[in-house]
A = this chain, B = another copy of it.
Amino acid sequence: MTPKALFFDVFGTLVDWRTSIARETERLLAPLGLKLDWLDFASAWRREYQPALEEVRAGRIPFSKLDVLHRYNLERILPRFEVRGVPEPVLADLNLAWHRLDAWPDVSAGLVRLKKKFWIAPVSNGNISLMVDLARKNSFPWDAILGAEVAGDYKPKPRVYLASCQAFDLPPAECVMVAAHSSDLAAAAACGLRTAHIARPDEAGPGKGEAAPKTTVDLAANSIEHLADQLGA
């Protein structure tokens, strides 16, 4: 395998959404006197993610940035946690919690190594501004921001992977999709991309993540640094 570009899933693969969202939610809602199970709130918000994307993928609503879908999902779950009357500026700020997620500790150093040998870009369902905020916060040295907003649809639709290859003028076989989720990798492989699985066994809570790929992959690593080792970067 001699790839030219590496495409990265972001939520779960590069950043720890669960504890970051719990922390940000507590930071913004606790001062209002609210006491929730913050980790449970993070998981509930995330559970609305795929159903909302599916509305776009199925063509029932036009393409909307993930920030818009996150806000819609937030409005859906707040009543379930009996949260009402939060001022609009706090809600708007809370929705941007997804722009402030922390990277897993191996990511920044691994990406710096990989960039010396490959073109690197996020191919995430997150919107461009969200990707820029995460890159600035966590020192992700992207060559470009690709993914859902550039493609106008959401993974795992083939268009998102193929539009990313086309943006870099590369055939799919020279591109590697890197993700902690086998469904993402299976969809990329079906488009002709190579695949690398990153184990994030605790992504959605202790033991609630993929410790190993559930689909055939070209590479399996337990961190981005480990991936760089395997790719000789």
Contact = CB atoms under 8 A, between A and B. Distances in A.
Interface in A201-230: none
A146 B167 CA distance: 12
A168 B119 contact: no
A67 interface: yes
A179 interface: no
A42 interface: no
Contacts of A69: none
Given A149-B167, A167-B149, A169-B67, A136 B143 contact: yes
A129 interface: yes
23 contacts: A67-B169, A119-B132, A127-B169, A128-B144, A128-B146, A128-B167, A128-B168, A129-B167, A129-B168, A129-B169, A131-B144, A132-B143, A132-B144, A132-B168, A135-B143, A136-B143, A142-B144, A143-B145, A144-B144, A144-B145, A145-B145, A149-B167, A150-B150
